[in-house]
A and B are shown apart, each in its own frame.
Chain A
């Protein structure tokens, strides 16, 4: 029995594994059920791999054209949302951090607001805003990313801010400036390389959030992965569940990468 266990700060090895295994198993049941479902012949009884092969069979490409297009839409939306995070949020956060220390709390507050104003509330007011947006930018799918940029704000902010707090940004930029670097090279050659981890994490979590978004797309009558999944599930539930599993796996890999990024950086940094 380790010291920490004896004085009570840590669980014993047995207790740890009992808790983790039980919770892990319970949480695995729905995933296992989804996997089992994709191999069923019909709603009940019998197993087959047909549903998996059918999805990737070029002969069926026509049937799934709408579905694949919606997946494409979701990836376009993810890309534009990441672009909004990089072009609008990131420079503002750096600027506020360097030049407007007093505005940091204000920025933090703004970025947390989307938690308090959930998508289902926002969408009520977004409907009239989008009637204007459609007039200006046309009705293509990417315009929905303007709304998604707001949805991902709390997550992206947290990832980037954690990195900003961990790196002596002010000192670095002053050092670079005193060596004669212009603002652009301070940003591009000093700050961004140091913020790479936070920025990547922000991008990944934004992609994960956008790929899972349903509320706004559904109520503004746009087609993305999630609305298409719901529609397909009425006629071909197997395909819907297979795609749900695949996108879950995709999100897991993305977030595992974020975790790796975090620990890689922590290993390298020396404590100040």
Chain B
């Protein structure tokens, strides 16, 4: 019941039963449970996480933690996080877009689409401990693929050291959840391509190449770049897979936060977690702002 479209109910003369009147103050009260919940479990934790970066153990203001972000090992962690996220986002976006393209022209309610969508939703959520298990079983030291490559083809993938339990080992598992996420986020954009555009192109004598180069790709570009940024953010903030694979050291930012939180007995380290959280939020806000700007631009073609 919107006030504007139901003027009868807004007059509120004394004869109207009270339950039929717009509930006035009461309807604002209806917003309080959610507001309070979000305040306590989202706003306050986020604020606390950032603020603790600016105080010492005994509550004095300090720049030390934030300046600590510029220590070589922390900068290296941000760099490693950046590269892992960027590489897996690009690979995931390209393969994911290919899968979306392959599904064009199939029925949206059909069995194929439902299967691929459900599988994508599961695998996009798959990031975490179980994903680490899957890849240990695949390309771990005794993994299926490792063993087959060694015994059948004489290729030792660990000839140059145990890269699997280091940052490069994150690449394959991360791609594994990036591709499905791309399928979920990019499919609506591809479906937004109107058949009429292709028909118009064909009528005017355009080839397939011209259709893709001059029509489809320019229309899809904002969605593609937006999804790319979302994938980047997804990898950048992912913790569980890395935590399960890399038990020693803090090579990427989320693992730095773990290190800072777990070793809180070491003087001053706990508040370092706050500074690291601040650094992550800054990156995430920049990336997600870009994402939503690109989404707005992309939505022009999806009416």
Binding site for B on A (CB under 8 A): 2, 4-11, 15-17, 19-20, 23, 27, 29-34, 36-37, 43-44, 84, 87-89, 91-92, 95-96, 98-101, 103, 110, 113-129, 146-147, 149-150, 153, 170, 173-174, 177, 182-183, 205, 208-209, 212-215, 218-219, 226, 229-230, 233, 237, 240-241, 244, 247-248, 251-252, 255-256, 258-260, 263, 266-267
Return chain A residues, CB-CB under 8 Å to B274.
124
Binding site for A on B (CB under 8 A): 1-3, 5-6, 9, 19-20, 22-23, 27, 30-31, 33-34, 37-38, 40-42, 44-50, 52, 95, 98-99, 101-106, 108-109, 112, 114-119, 121-123, 125-130, 133-135, 137-138, 142-145, 147, 176, 179, 193, 195, 198-199, 201-202, 207-208, 211-212, 233, 237-240, 243-244, 254, 257-258, 261-262, 273-274, 276-277, 280-281, 284-285, 288
With contact pairs A30-B135, A92-B31 given, residues A7 and B211 touching in the complex (Cβ less than 8 Å): yes
Return chain B residues, CB-CB under 8 Å to A123.
45, 261
Q: In the complex, given contacts A30-B134, A244-B129, A255-B121, what are 12 additional A-B residue pairs having Cβ atoms less than 8 angstroms apart? A: A7-B199, A16-B105, A20-B102, A36-B144, A88-B33, A98-B2, A119-B237, A124-B257, A146-B40, A208-B122, A214-B129, A260-B114
Q: Does A10 contact B27, Cβ atoms closer than 8 Å? A: no
Q: Which 9 A-B pairs have the closest CB atoms?
A: A118-B237, A125-B45, A8-B208, A125-B49, A10-B105, A125-B48, A92-B34, A19-B102, A244-B130
**Smallest CB separation, B132 vs chain A (Å):** 8
Q: Does A118 contact B280, Cβ atoms closer than 8 Å? A: yes
Once the chains are docked, how many angstroms separate the CA of A187 from the CA of B40?
27
Once the chains are docked, how many angstroms separate the CA of A43 from the CA of B147?
11
Return chain A residues, CB-CB under 8 Å to B45.
122-126, 129
Q: Does A129 contact B135, Cβ atoms closer than 8 Å? A: no
Once the chains are docked, how many angstroms separate the CA of A10 from the CA of B138?
35
Q: Which residue on chain A has the smallest CB distance to residue B240?
A: A214
With contact pairs A129-B40, A226-B128 given, residues A9 and B122 touching in the complex (Cβ less than 8 Å): no
Return chain A residues, CB-CB under 8 Å to B115.
256
Return chain A residues, CB-CB under 8 Å to B40.
129, 146
Q: Does A4 contact B195, Cβ atoms closer than 8 Å? A: yes
22 CB-based A-B contacts, threshold 8 Å: A4-B198, A7-B199, A19-B102, A20-B99, A36-B144, A84-B37, A100-B31, A110-B42, A113-B42, A117-B46, A118-B237, A120-B254, A120-B277, A121-B284, A125-B45, A208-B122, A212-B130, A214-B128, A219-B258, A219-B262, A226-B128, A244-B134
Q: Please tell me which one of the listed residues B102, B143, B285 contacts residue A33 in the complex, with CB atoms under 8 A apart.
A: B143
Q: Does B98 contact A23, Cβ atoms closer than 8 Å? A: yes
**Smallest CB separation, A158 vs chain B (Å):** 11
Return chain A residues, CB-CB under 8 Å to B273.
124
Once the chains are docked, how many angstroms separate the CA of A142 from the CA of B280?
28
Q: Which residue on chain A has the smallest CB distance to residue B46?
A: A117
Q: Does B284 contact A101, Cβ atoms closer than 8 Å? A: no
Q: Please tell me which one of the listed residues B22, B129, B212, B257 contacts residue A230 in the complex, with CB atoms under 8 A apart.
A: B129
Return chain B residues, CB-CB under 8 Å to A36.
137, 144
Q: Does B118 contact A150, Cβ atoms closer than 8 Å? A: no
Once the chains are docked, how many angstroms separate the CA of A170 from the CA of B126?
38
Return chain A residues, CB-CB under 8 Å to B258.
120, 219
Return chain A residues, CB-CB under 8 Å to B238.
118
Q: Does B103 contact A16, Cβ atoms closer than 8 Å? A: yes
Return chain B residues, CB-CB under 8 Å to A146.
37, 40-41
Q: Does B239 contact A267, Cβ atoms closer than 8 Å? A: no
